[in-house]
């Protein structure tokens, strides 16, 4: 892609430009990590920011005064320059840029004078071949799996979406059942349910179904991570009457399948709203806000973090980086992007010409143990 001035690329423009689509896909294939391939990314960050050297991209969401960069796909050595372009370009448009990244890149930005406030963790098994259920550290996980297996004949198998209409409908029904137990859901869940019901699945995704005595208990979607020779556990759906240990059983069986295929790594994905202790590089106003929301259980996914920890993953802290002079009030926009990525609340307000509603943010519900 030709170099030039930094620019935004709106989702509609991207959808009309096959060359740009190929360029982005090549970056994701070579450099993309979990947040680049996650199903939720198309909802949380549907637009692009292309820096001046055009060697990478940020997947972003924008509000009138805020830019949230959810993921970066590009060479590591170009990250700091690309981030600098984003901070500068956003400031020229009177927007506050926020960049979500794992610890190494966040510290790179902190060294350049930006803040880095803890926002969650990335949990992954970088050496899948070395994973084992043996040993005292895995005792709790073994117990959960064994507990589930005692409830009948249990099996996990891969399913090709669209190969059996009855199964497609059963999976869609399971998603509806799972949704009923959640208070806050991203629009990507309904969109993805529609694709499954229609027998469609994105090419980089695989679907695994777990049955107990012939009853569908769970459906897990994994997304390919070509840059890491691995997969991301992307979406998990389960029924209300699934016995404890059902997800643990399913995940362990998926890991066995991937290991036999020679897959190198398996990521349990990002968990936001946990492990947000204060650090020297943080924006203290934003850190205080997040810890208050965590204590109030508005932005708290400790249960999901603990569930994934049963698999003894490597945990890498996730941070949001901002300019040191950025107003703390603007960070509410970042949290609202998670709760309402398509800004439907604002659209409804504008249509009704009503006064702005209170902006107490709500975190998206994530699977818990």
Say how far apart CA 163 and CA 83 lie, in whole Å.
Answer: 44
Q: Is the pLDDT of residue 138 over 90?
A: yes
Q: Widest CA span of the chain, in angstroms?
A: 62
**Could you read off the pLDDT of 100-121 as tens digits, one per residue?**
999 999 999 999 999 999 999 9
Say how far apart CA 294 and CA 308 lie, in whole Å.
Answer: 19
Tell me the pLDDT band of 363, cut-offs 50, 70 and 90. Answer: very low
Say how far apart CA 333 and CA 62 lie, in whole Å.
Answer: 9
Architecture per CATH, domain 128-263, reads as: 3-Layer(aba) Sandwich (3.40)
* Predicted pLDDT of residue 344: 62
Domain 7-120+281-295+319-352 has CATH 3.40.1710: no
- Which residue, chain included where needed, has tokens 């934003």? 286
Least confident piece of the model among 14-28, 159-173, 263-277, 332-346: 332-346
Alpha helix (H) residue ranges in the chain: 11-15, 18-31, 34-37, 41-44, 79-92, 103-111, 139-149, 165-179, 187-197, 246-260, 284-295, 302-309, 331-339, 344-352
* Predicted pLDDT of residue 198: 82
In whole numbers, what is the pLDDT of the chain averaged over residues? Answer: 91
* Predicted pLDDT of residue 355: 42
DSSP element (H, E) containing 265: strand 265-272
Residues 6+ apart with CB under 8 A from 97: 67, 69, 86, 87, 90, 91, 322, 323
Q: What is the domain partition of the chain in residue ranges? A: 7-120+281-295+319-352, 128-263
* Predicted pLDDT of residue 277: 95
Tell me the pLDDT band of 195, cut-offs 50, 70 and 90. Answer: confident
Same fold, 7-120+281-295+319-352 and 128-263: yes
Least confident piece of the model among 2-6, 103-107, 242-246: 2-6
Closest among 85, 75, 76, 21 to 49, alpha carbons compared: 85
């Amino acid at each position: 892609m030709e170099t030039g001035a930094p620019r935004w690329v709106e989702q509609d423009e991207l959808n009309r430009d096959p060359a740009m689509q190929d360029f982005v896909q090549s970056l994701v294939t070579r450099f993309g990590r979990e947040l680049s391939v996650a199903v939720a990314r198309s909802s949380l960050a549907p637009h692009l920011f292309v820096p001046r050297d055009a060697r990478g991209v940020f997947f972003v969401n924008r509000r009138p005064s805020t830019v949230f960069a959810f993921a970066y796909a590009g060479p590591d050595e170009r990250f700091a320059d690309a981030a600098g372009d984003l901070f500068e370009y956003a400031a020229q448009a009177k927007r506050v840029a926020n960049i979500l990244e794992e610890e190494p890149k966040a510290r790179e930005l902190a060294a350049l004078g930006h803040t880095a406030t803890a926002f969650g963790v990335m949990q992954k098994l970088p050496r899948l071949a070395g994973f084992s259920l043996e040993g005292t550290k895995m005792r709790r996980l073994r117990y959960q799996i064994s507990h589930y297996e005692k409830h009948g004949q249990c099996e996990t198998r891969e399913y090709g979406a669209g190969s059996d209409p009855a199964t497609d409908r059963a999976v869609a029904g399971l998603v509806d059942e799972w949704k009923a137990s959640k208070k806050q859901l991203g629009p990507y869940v309904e969109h993805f349910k529609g694709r499954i019901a229609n027998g469609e699945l994105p090419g980089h995704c695989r679907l695994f179904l777990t049955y107990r005595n012939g009853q569908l208990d769970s459906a897990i979607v994994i997304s390919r991570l070509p840059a890491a020779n691995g997969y991301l556990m992307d979406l998990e759906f389960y029924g209300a009457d699934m016995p404890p240990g059902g997800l643990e059983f399913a995940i362990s069986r998926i890991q066995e399948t991937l290991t036999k295929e020679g897959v190198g790594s398996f990521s349990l994905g990002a968990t936001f709203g946990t492990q947000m202790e204060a650090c020297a590089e943080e924006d203290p106003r934003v850190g205080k806000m997040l810890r208050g929301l965590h204590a109030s259980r508005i932005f708290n996914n400790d249960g999901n973090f603990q569930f994934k920890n049963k698999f003894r993953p490597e945990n890498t802290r996730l941070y949001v980086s901002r300019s040191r002079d950025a107003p703390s009030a603007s960070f509410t926009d970042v949290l609202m992007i998670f709760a309402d990525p398509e800004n439907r609340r604002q659209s409804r307000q504008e249509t009704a010409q009503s006064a702005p509603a209170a902006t107490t943010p709500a975190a998206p519900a994530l699977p818990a143990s």
